[in-house]
Amino acid sequence: MGKVSLIFSQTDCCGCHTCEVACKQEHGLPVGPRLIKVLERAPLFMQYYCHHCEDAPCALACPEEAIKKDPDTGVVFHDPDKCTGCNSVEGKSGREKQQTSPCKFNCPAGNDIQGFIGLTAGGKYAEAFQLLKETSPFPSICGRVCTFPCESECNRKQIDDPVSIRAIERFLADRNRGNGDAYIPKLKPARDGKIAVVGSGPAGLAAAYFLSKNGYKTTVFEKLPVAGGMMAVGIPLYRLPRETLAADIGVIEKMGVQIKTGVTFGQDVTFDSLRKEGYKAFFLATGMHKNAPLDIPNTDFKGVLNGIEFLRDIALGNPLSLGKKVLIVGGGNVAMDVAMTAIRKGAEDVAIVYRRSEAEMPAWKREVNEAIEEGIKIVTGLAPTQFIGRDGRLTGVEFKRSRSVRSEEGIVELQFDETDLTRMEADTVIIAAGQAADVSLAESQQIPINEAGRFVADPVSLETPLEGIFAGGDAFYGPRTVVEAIGSGKKAAVSIDRYLRGLDLLTGREARDTGLTPITEAVKDKYDPAPRTESTWLPVEERMGSDEVQLGFSEQEALQEAKRCITCGASCVQACPYGVMQFNHEVLKAVKCDLCLEKRERGEAPACTWACPAHCIYWGDASEFPGGINEGLQRIVP
């Protein structure tokens, strides 16, 4: 039997659910239809047609190999005899398996975390890494610097402690890189339409990665002399070795993405010049490479540095003289990175001064502890009033006492005591009290920006008011994390693909906080308590001479930790990029569309096609479809 196609007209669908009801009646499926709501827009119907992907993530994610793709028909089949229902327990679980594990729900990149952990627990490391690369171009990087929101709501903590997800991700990435044969994702056939990405940070490179996977020729333009954005010039070496970053970026280049460094958009190239070269769509992901200004006297003194610029200069090898005594103003992760970098650059006496309490510091607790371990002082309750100097050279800083006070309305406000002043001597002060976007290209290119100085774009599609121009990452959201930037780049890639194919940018799209439901009550009584395996750090005395202070898991540690996962959801349901995989809570097994191939053998059409009152579903040989496949149609099977 040859290949068949199910062809769906997005523009003709009225969202009546008749096709889904017909399918459920035909096959006895109990799962109800899924409605999603996109921000303030009306609810939309999400079609449940399996797309029978060429590299089906559901098949890759299944630890039991119960899902396989037929090489002759291209249909992805599910074998109920091999399916275990991802450890469903009769009478205790089943219906929640259609929902999402909290780890995936909280991952901005949408990683199928349960899937890659289940594969790791079975020793299938290559498959686990490949599944990771379906949703993220940077497992090596996220395995080191991700804020791991996936772990915050891990249901394992209802037994003892969350699974060490980030450490397992790093193990898989390091193992793949250590094999000397880095995994390169397969690319779809080449599509028409060149795409320009402005900025080579995590959002820009993620967009380029997914667009390249989808067959588009993509070029990234970077103002700095190196690729990577803040990953290259904002994250210190001791957290992210440059060879690790270069390896992940190198894979993107091997996929055909061209990265041009030292190119200033708006000067060296413009929208007009690139359109003349055949570029059809643009993604602006210029990041936040400026310090937020500190409005106090004498910021122009020699010896007053900006944290973002300081880290960038260190990363680029630019000469800097700090002196022995260094003060850092700020309390976030940038302040911690600046302080520990200063220690590594020869400063002998380093202190972080923050205007609120240590408990209110926005920096991760682990980073604060790490700084203290390395001999950095934490001074709280002081806000700078002026820099003090002589002949234009800094000699110290004056601070006033400050504290947080909760008002009667419950609002926490900062109060200052102008009479309680403190002076501290310093050879250098580094300001790390916030970030701002560099939108200098906005005026020359007539790109709208908002009052916060960031690009204006639709929150779901990321399209700016200028047609074909999209914006994302920190320059749109404000300062966020690497993994959130990856999610933004992925979202932009979907929109650009739809734009170039003439499809609606919003239909079926889910906002981050809608559509998915996290599982909160997973089966726990079949699991015994087991201690969490923690990542370890080098001893303090060894850190200054090492490129990386945090150590990765051994194979034994990764296996041991992966087996602590309590498989909240169903791996295949969570792996499906289209949200169409279903779980039958009556038989505790997954179910999926197999294109009714048994009907094809009898010369019959699937129930969904003849039941559709809008006549928007077509069935058969795509080459025989009247008028061919145009851009308004979605072909379910390639």
Dist CA 57 CA 235 (whole Å)? 32
- Given this model, what pLDDT does residue 604 score? 80
* Residues 57, 592: Cα–Cα separation, whole Å: 13
Residues 6+ apart with CB under 8 A from 627: none
Give the pLDDT of residue 523. Answer: 83
- Nearest-angstrom CA–CA distance, 465 and 291: 27
pTM across the whole model: 0.89
Q: How far apart are CA 122 and CA 445, in angstroms?
A: 52
* Residue 202 or 433, more confident: 202
Gap between the Cα atoms of 220 and 195, Å rounded = 9
pLDDT tens digit sequence for 166-182:
999 999 999 999 877 78
pLDDT at 611: 83
Domain at 194-289+437-500: CATH architecture:
3-Layer(bba) Sandwich (3.50)
Where does the pLDDT of residue 615 fall: very low under 50, low under 70, confident under 90, or very high at 90 and above? Answer: confident
pLDDT of 636 above 70? no
- 């990321």: which residue's tokens? 462
Predicted confidence band of residue 417 (pLDDT cuts 50, 70, 90): very high
How many Cα atoms occupy the beta-carbon half-sphere of 251 within 13 Å? 27
The pLDDT value recorded for residue 37 is: 39
Q: According to the CATH classification, is domain 293-435 in 1.20.210.10? A: no
If one counts every other C-beta atom within 10 angstroms of the C-beta of residue 42, the result is: 8
pLDDT tens digits for 290-347? 888 788 999 999 999 999 999 999 999 999 999 999 999 999 999 999 999 999 999 9
pLDDT tens track for 558-587: 999 999 999 999 999 888 887 778 888 888
Helix axis angle, 555-562 to 165-178, nearest 10°:
140
CA dihedral 509, 116, 230, 225 (to 10 degrees): -100
- Give the count of beta carbons closer than 10 Å to the beta carbon of residue 50: 23
State the pLDDT at residue 10: 65
* Integer angstrom CA distances of residue 314 from 322, 393, 395, 638: 12, 22, 23, 49
State pLDDT tens for residues 73-91. 788 888 989 998 888 888 7
* Pairing mode, strands 76-78 and 67-69: antiparallel
Q: In the chain, pLDDT over 90 holds for what percent of residues? A: 61
Amino acid at 324: K
Could you identify the residue written with the tokens 């002082």?
377
Which pLDDT value is given to residue 626?
A: 58
Outline which parts of the chain fall under CATH 3.50.50.60: 194-289+437-500, 293-435
As to burial, measured by CB atoms within 10 angstroms (0-12 exposed, 13-18 middle, 19+ buried), residue 186 is exposed
- For residue 237, pLDDT beyond 90: yes
Whether the per-residue pLDDT at 3 is higher than 90: the answer is no
Question: Which residue intervals of 46-101 are DSSP H helices?
Answer: 57-61
Contact 264, 445 (CB under 8 A): no
Task: State the pLDDT at residue 324.
Answer: 95
